[in-house]
Amino acid sequence: MAAATTSSDVGNTLAKRVLVWQILVAALASGLLGFLVVVGVIQANRRPDQIGAPRPAWDDDQPAQAQAAPPPAGLMGLSPLSMVALIIVPLQISLGLAMPMMIGSAIRRTLAREIRGGSTAGENRELSPQQESRLLDAYQASTIIGAALPEGAGFVAGVAYMFDGNPILLGGAFLSLLAVLLRFPWQSRVQYWLNWQKEQLTTELAMLRDFPMEKQF
């Protein structure tokens, strides 16, 4: 007969999963930070006439006019690349905040329908280990998406800064890095999220009991 799952076993399993997520987010953040450091060093070692016109290091015999050719200017003097980067950064950060909430809401509502549809389901029914694991899977997906979206925006802003040298782009890149770091999953944070999802699930089960219409969910 299989041994019953204890709270200690559940805690150990959660700790192992959280450690994997922490390593993942740290890897994403460190990759972006390393890239921005390299971009900053490249930009700092450029002569003023090279900013905005990257060229091979061996091509030092070009006339100054050719070396200083700026990229085509767009709105407010920004190049098209800078404009794209300044759009992508807030968009990706916003999506990185919204998508995790949508994922958590979707899995919670699916569980609510499943629990309510069971023959022994009740409003205060405890989640099974499998259902709790599905909630944690949703947290894992939301963590990956919530960190990867702003990381991508940070790379775009870093590339744009390397070409144009606009400090606003560097600020956008570091803002993206901050958004990645804010997704770091401390175990207490994961446990709080899990408890909150359970509370919301209880509320939605009550709504299904009072208003049993599938179209609500």
Q: Which of 188, 194, 184 has the alpha carbon at shortest distance from 133?
A: 194
Tokens of 66: 């050719």
User: What separation in angstroms does the CA of 130 have from each of 110, 113, 137?
Assistant: 13, 15, 10
- Distance of CA 87 to CAs 9, 50, 94, Å? 46, 25, 11
* Rounded mean pLDDT for each run of 10 residues along the chain, 217 residues in total: 51 87 96 95 74 48 49 64 94 93 89 70 63 91 95 96 90 96 94 90 76 52
Q: What is the pLDDT of residue 74?
A: 53
H/E stretch holding 94 reads helix 80-117
pLDDT of residue 64: 47
pLDDT at 210: 63
Q: pTM, whole model, 2 decimals?
A: 0.76
- Distance between CA atoms of residues 201 and 199, nearest Å: 5
The 3-state DSSP composition of the chain as helix, strand, coil percent (nearest 5) reads 75, 0, 25
Among 192, 94, 217, residue whose Cα is nearest residue 145:
94
